[in-house]
Amino acid sequence: MNAIISAPELANELTGARPPVLLDIRWQLSLAKAAGAAVFDGRAEYEAGHLPGAVFVDLDAELAGPPGAGGRHPLPDVAAFGAVMRRAGVSAGTPVVVYDGGQGWAAARAWWLLRWTGHPDVRVLDGGLAAWTGALSTDVPAPAEGDFAPVPGAVDLLDADGAAALARSGLLLDARAGERYRGDVEPIDRVGGHIPGAVSAPTTENVGPDGRFLAPEVLADRFKALGASGTEVGVYCGSGVSGAHEVLALAVAGIPAALYAGSWSQWSSDESRPVATGPDPQ
């Protein structure tokens, strides 16, 4: 099964006999901005116009647990996540397509969570809302309750110790921007740098200027050049959101990968964990 779907393919499926459930996951990372700057409001963006029939899902409130020892976006309570998905109309036997405003990170987080909890058919709209050329709707649907019952463990998940071990035994990719990997800047977390042994692989380099993923063979070449050949692969980022997008890019390339969901926000908050800086993995 493909991990992504193009806008024309989605338009065709929506008119077919088995249309997918649509989830709108518009979200932006909130950083300190100039005084008076408006905070991004995904629900307001959704209400202003969304794919017809799409249900809004809040990443911070519904695709993550409360910030704390597990990081800024720890995994949500599984039962609560299942309830959110059922309210959105998600059933085990129904395909799901998730999209966001175009960056792809938030949609990938929903895609990964559904895959991790065992949904067999979920894809991301390649290029997000910006790729959609059809009409938008302001109607808020009330879908029939779904039957999806999440069972964690369908795909690999790393904790901090597992990420540290994989950085030595396999390939651990850091999906953040290069300057954060090197520790040149750190706008959010306690300290800058990276997990010792991790390789810098900014997720922004997996897409073209239009936000759509590069061709599978191009992505495969990129990841193989970074060391993803014949070895286990894991990914982390700042808080398990852009890292999910890198796992998605790896899936497009045909390379399975585990996600360290706690990511740098969890790792760096533990003063006992080692930190590497500079361009060298070690």
Which sequence positions are flagged as catalytic? 237
Q: Give the C-alpha separation, 52 to 10, whole Å.
A: 12
Helices 242-252 and 105-116, axial angle in degrees (round to 10): 70
| 8-state DSSP, 53 | T
Q: How many residues does the chain have?
A: 282
Question: Are the C-beta atoms of 63 and 240 separated by less than 8 Å?
Answer: no
Q: Return the structure tokens found at 194.
A: 């990276």
Question: Are the C-beta atoms of 210 and 217 separated by less than 8 Å?
Answer: no
Reduced to 3 states (helix: H, G, I; strand: E, B; else coil), residue 143 is coil
